[in-house]
Amino acid sequence: MRTAIFTAMLAVLVSCGKEPQTEMANKATEAVKKTAEELLAEKNQATDQLIVDLKEKGFQTFDYIDSDSGEKVVMQQYFIAFLKRGPVRSQDSADSARLQELHLEHLGKMYALGYADISGPFGDDGDIRGITIYNTPTLEMADSLANADPSVKAGRLVIEMHPWWAAKGFPLR
């Protein structure tokens, strides 16, 4: 008898509790959804401001909406300098080492000033010795900075420049 009464009371409590819990869960889900939508809108608004700022500085951009996240993605034009083996490779080892040191200083300065984002050598012994990705508004500016490299001035390297598009804020993996 006690078991039957306890079971009946438990059934009443459970059935009474279901509706408020479901309603509460729905309200919580709506609050999270609204918050996610608001966050997405804020992020896209910040992205719109980034586009305005980049265009004011002379950068070329375009954007699109990511179909998975709904986020606006900004593509910016960068410039890749292919550093190729130059015609003057007759430096002795001391001069070659000095030029390499000056070359690395130049690339470090470009990075520190915000003009170069990525730079590095290739791992083979081909004619293309390395690359630098320049974050400049124009090809002319990137080309001028790349050709100011002491190794380029000495003829040890030559530059081949290409425009390149990449998404802002996406890290390398």
* pLDDT given at position 40: 83
pTM, full prediction: 0.75
Q: Which residue's entry shows tokens 């606006």?
A: 72
Reported as a single tens digit per residue, the pLDDT across 113-165 is 999 999 999 999 999 999 999 999 999 999 999 999 999 999 999 999 999 99
> Does the pLDDT of residue 5 top 60, yes or no?
no
DSSP the chain: -HHHHHHHHHHHHHHHHHHHHHHHHHHHHHHHHHHHHHHHHHHHHHHHHHHHHHHHTT--EEEEE-TTT--EEEEEEEEEEEEEE-S-----HHHHHHHHHHHHHHHHHHHHTTSEEEEEE-SS-SSEEEEEEE--S-HHHHHHHHHTSHHHHTTSEEEEEEEEEEETTPPP-
Predicted confidence (pLDDT) per residue in 24-51, tens digit: 677 666 666 668 788 888 888 989 999 9
pLDDT tens digits, 35-92: 878 888 888 898 999 999 999 999 999 999 999 988 999 999 999 999 999 999 988 9
The per-residue pLDDT for 8 is: 47
74-167: CATH, from 3.30.70.1060, 1.20.1090.10, 3.40.1280.10, 3.30.110.40 = 3.30.70.1060
